[in-house]
Structure 1
Amino acid sequence: MTTQSLYNDMVEKMIDHVDNKTTDMAEDTLSVPSSAYTDPQIWQQEMDLIFKNRPVFVAMSNELPEPGCYKTLQFLDKPLLITRLADGSVRVMLNVCPHRAMQVVTEESGKRSRFTCSYHGWSFRNDGSLLAVSEPAKFGEVDKDCNGLPQLPSYEHGGMIFTVLNGDTTVNFEEYLGGMIKDIARLGFEHWHYCGKRTIYGANWKIAYDGYLEGYHFATAHPKTVTPRTYSNIMQFENYGPHILLGFPQRSIDKLKNVDKSDYWKHENDGYDFIRLLFPNVSIFVAPEITQIAQIIPGPTPAENTTHLYFIHPEAPQNEEQQQANENMMEWLRDVVDEEDYFMGLKIQKGVESNAHTHVTFGRNERGNQFFHKWVDYCLADDPGLPEPKL
């Protein structure tokens, strides 16, 4: 099925759901142990088998618009340095000096052709190779070829940059990201303007991600922000491997009844919205005002996460008024996620830690959550002989 046909089919189903007051549903409810959100051993397994062994998103392409641009990011226990090389390619490496393990680059972002460690002055090219050792005659012999910044796999497509934190893991990025990265690539993010970033803090990474996977909570958690635009508890799900395409009908979706069904795909944000969810930790919401890419980074404990909200727009602002409009939307969306979703998440964290109930339950209407948790369990089983979960 082509992307256009998939979209058309999803929109037709959303229209039908609105007319009949139904939603896309799983076959049954699903119980997940409360310990899945609190147990340190489970959390460490998730870090080792999911976050370190599979492709993870680390930067938007437009954060590094020119050769020499760089970005640093702390991802779990890995301090990352992401750079744009002279040939336009990207490099992802560990931001750790081979001399005494100092973080070489301490700024969050910038533009440089070389980096110098602030501890002892060793210098590196922006591809991570060792350029010079300070006072080499006094230090002793150093093999420059073996003392650069440790390299990680890098992959750039659809305006997004990915790596694998365990550099020894062999991963086929094209196969893993599959149809979802092709879906994203058609949007042309690499040509969009990078507006900025906001950072917020929340509960266990799965509690945070659960909130992006359903609209059952819209009416009660977002009565003044989301619900006026979007129906609560009406959703349509599709998947590309472990990744989810989630459709939400807007309250204006009825107007699409006057549109040829083969053209439904042209009307994203004009009757319906999609959330694109990259397993295990990224949510992309494309809106006409601004696009938000949420990146959930677990830790430093099972009860915590750091979420970076990246914002992009198809066009750079042409004046101060447009710039201020972007700033206002970034603040508004940050507040919605932080003060409504993540506020709830922190309360949920206290709830699961209380051991009041042995399990949490996902309803038939929370089909995306069920699929996500089945994929987490599949990854933790670490058995290639098991069949992949189905939506």
Structure 2
Amino acid sequence: MRRETQVKLIRELLDHNAAGTTQLADDMLVLPAEVYVSEHHWQAEREALFRRRPVVACLAGAVASAGDFVSLTAGGVPLVVVRGDDGVLRGFRNVCRHRASSVVSGCGTGASSLRCPFHAWTYRLDGSLLARPQAGEGFAETDESELGLVPAPVGEASGLVFVRPEGGDPVNAAELVGDAAQDLGDFGVGQYVPFDRWESSWPCNWKLLVDTFLESYHVFSLHRSTVGRYYLSQPMTYQGYGPNLRFQTCQKSVLELAEVPEDEWDLLSRATVEYLIAPNTILSHSVDHFAVYQFLPTAVDRTDVTMTLYTPEPPTDRTQRHYERTLELHQEVGADEDFPQAVKIQQSLDSGLVDETLVGRHEVALIHFHQALDELLEGGNQQAGAG
């Protein structure tokens, strides 16, 4: 993030703090319960946001070399992105052409091929079928050249890799990043490498989990014994980039900069700067790492969460334990504090006796998120991100 942006954000925060204010939306937002519990609403989201619209698969550093791959499921469709021997990044449906089992799981590096664990059908990195061991004459009537993995369009921009489960049009990744590109380029997002990942599953709507990231109002209360000791709840500011947005949660020490010459101001050492890349990915930068959260719904009330910790360079003996502790802290705050609240909210909404939830004017990024989703759903009949 360039220096002039950091100075601007610090100045806005200090001005708000001096005045006892925070950034406000024009109006509060009333969210009907159906946004989180309606099967019809979820089906519309699945088609428009998670099948016809590309989603973030990973940061580019996770698939930088031949044989590197990352798998995920979007809109119920198993997917894999892989770097070929020719250096080309490709996406496929992660579905074996034999019995539809997943070919790979999780992520990996340096693979020479992709091998389904069920019956060992094996695919080259370009998706073509390589082998069907011990099949004999069992598939004599089939043409191996027609049994490659089904392609899924991919695109790269600003260090992000996108994949679309449905449709064959090219993915315009630069359009999907939009005006967030400048910041992500300044961070050098594409140079970060994966350290480790945490996978979990939660019995709640995916948006409830995203919601927990998009306002700092809860920090003083929910996180009082962890990060709440160090971070401000208010003031908070954000910037919208079309359906994407940037927001920052600042350490209390940032207020000390009011007494420091402006040429010594530094935001990144005193704040967590986060980006929502629509519809379902959070890039969270703190000091020396990015935590990339992907919220992958499998039902209206069930969401798989993958958090991958990315570091500027591979860990050394000196930094290994530091990054392990960093991952543990993310797990502690998410699994023990944030995400259980989302589950409790889902239970309340599922009761049928809660009609709505309220979003205050000071929860500006949260309002932007839901209004942007409404716009994406309204335009869902047009295939997003097509070049």
TM-score over 0.5 for the alignment? yes
**What corresponds to 2:218 in structure 1?**
217
CA distance in 2, matches of 1:96, 1:285: 31
Preserved contact between residue 98 and residue 149 of structure 1 (Cα < 8 Å): yes
User: SS of the residue aligned with 1:168?
Assistant: coil
Identity of aligned residues (%): 27
Taking structure 1 as reference, are residues 37 and 214 closer, same or farther at Cα in structure 2, changes over 3 Å only? same
8 Å contact kept, 1:72–1:109:
no
Question: What does residue 40 of structure 2 align with?
Answer: 41
1:180 positional shift: 1.5
1:245 partnered with 2:222: no
Shift in Å at residue 379 of structure 1? Answer: 2.0
Q: Residue 55 of structure 1 aligns with which residue?
A: 54
2:304 to 296, 301, 306: 306
Classify the secondary structure of the residue corresponding to 1:227. helix
1:368 counterpart letter in structure 2: A
Q: In the comparison of the two structures, how many residue pairs are matched?
A: 380
CA pair 122-340 structure 1, distance change in 2 beyond 3 A: closer
When structure 1 is superposed on structure 2, of 275-284 and 250-259 the one drifting more is 250-259
User: In the TM superposition, what whole-angstrom CA distance separates every residue of 1:185-216 from its partner, at most 9, and x where no partner exists?
Assistant: 32123323421001223321111111111001
Query: What is the aligned partner in structure 1 of residue 255 from structure 2?
Result: 254
Letter in 1 for 2:224: P
**1:63-142 paired onto structure 2 within 5 Å:** 63-106=62-105, 108-132=107-131, 139-142=139-142
Distance 2:136 2:294 in 1: 42
Contact 2:72 2:106 in 1 (8 A): no
Question: Quick check: 1:197–1:309 contact (8 Å CA) kept in 2?
Answer: yes
In structure 1, the residue corresponding to 2:375 is in which secondary structure? Answer: helix
Relative to 1, partners in 2 of residues 1:106 and 1:378: Cα closer, same or farther, differing over 3 Å? closer
2:342 match: secondary structure: helix
CA contact (8 A) 1:50 1:280 kept: yes
TM-score between both structures, scaled by the size of structure 2: 0.89
C-alpha separation in 2, matches of 1:356 and 1:162:
39
Partner of 1:184: 184
User: Once structures 1 and 2 are overlaid, which stretch shifts more, 37-46 or 15-24?
Assistant: 15-24
Give deviations 1:25-69, integer Å, cap 9, x for gaps.
Answer: 011111010111001110110110111122211123332342122
Gap change, CA 1:20 and 1:273, over 3 Å in 2: farther
Structure-2 separation of matches of 1:127 and 1:305: 30
Distance 1:146 1:100 in 2: 15
User: Structure 2: any 5+ residue segments left out of the alignment?
Assistant: 383-387
Query: After superposition, where does 1:216-365 map in structure 2 within 5 Å?
Result: 216-257=217-258, 261=262, 264=265, 267-299=266-298, 301-319=299-317, 321-365=318-362
**Cα deviation, residue 251, structure 1:** 1.2
Deviates more, 1:236-245 or 1:4-13: 4-13
- Answer with 217-226 or 104-113: which moved more: 104-113
Q: CA 1:40–1:261 in 2, change beyond 3 Å: closer, same or farther?
A: same
- Structure 1 equivalent of residue 156 of structure 2: 156
- Following superposition, the deviation at residue 169 of structure 1 comes to 5.0
Instruction: Tell me what 1:11 maps to.
Output: 10
What SS does the corresponding residue of 2:252 show, helix, strand or coil? coil
Cα deviation for residue 349 of structure 1 reads 0.7
Q: How much does 1:145 deviate? A: 4.2
Q: CA deviation at 1:373?
A: 1.0
Change (3 A) 1:148 1:26: same
Q: Distance in 2 between matches of 1:204 and 1:92?
A: 27
**1:25 match: secondary structure:** coil
CA-based RMSD of the aligned residues comes to 2.5
Is contact 1:129-1:148 (8 Å) kept?
yes
Residue deviations 1:81-103, cap 9 Å, x none?
22111233321111222343233
SS for the counterpart of 1:285 is strand
CA contact (8 A) 1:67 1:85 kept: yes
CA shift digits 1:293-328 (9 cap, x unpaired): 1111112x2112111111022233221x52112111
State the one-letter code of the partner of 2:152. Answer: L
TM-score using structure 1 length? 0.88
SS in 1 for 2:238: strand
How far does residue 110 in structure 1 lie from its aligned partner after superposition? 4.4
Contact persistence 2:158–2:174 (CA under 8 A):
no
**Displacement of 1:339 after TM fit?**
0.6
Q: Distance in 2 between matches of 1:138 and 1:315?
A: 48
Query: How far apart, in 1, do the equivalents of 2:180 and 2:158 lie?
Result: 10
Q: Per the alignment, do residues 64 and 314 of structure 1 end up closer, same or farther by CA in structure 2, a change over 3 Å counting? A: same
> Which residue pairs with 1:201 in the alignment?
201
Asked whether the equivalents of residues 14 and 248 of structure 1 are also in contact (C-alpha less than 8 Å), the reply is: no
CA distance in 2, matches of 1:191, 1:345: 33
CA contact (8 A) 1:216 1:233 kept: yes
SS state of the match for residue 111, structure 1? coil
Q: For residues 8-32 of structure 1, what are the alpha-carbon distances to aligned partners after superposition, in whole Å with 9 as ceiling and x for unaligned?
A: 3322111111222211001111101
1:170 Cα deviation from its structure 2 partner: 5.3
Q: Is the 8 A contact 1:96 1:149 kept in 2?
A: yes
C-alpha contact 1:254 1:271 (8 A) present in aligned 2: no
Contact 2:155 2:170 in 1 (8 A): no
Q: Secondary structure at the match of 1:175?
A: helix
Tell me how far 1:77 sits from its aligned partner. 1.8
Check 1:42–1:228 CA distance in 2 against 1; reply closer, same or farther (3 A cut): same
Once residues 73 and 118 of structure 1 are traced to their aligned partners in structure 2, the CA distance between those partners, rounded to angstroms, is: 17
Deviation at 1:357, TM superposition (A): 2.7
CA distance in 1, matches of 2:82, 2:125: 6
- Judged with a 3 Å threshold, the aligned counterparts in structure 2 of structure 1 residues 175 and 4 are, in CA distance, closer, same or farther, namely farther
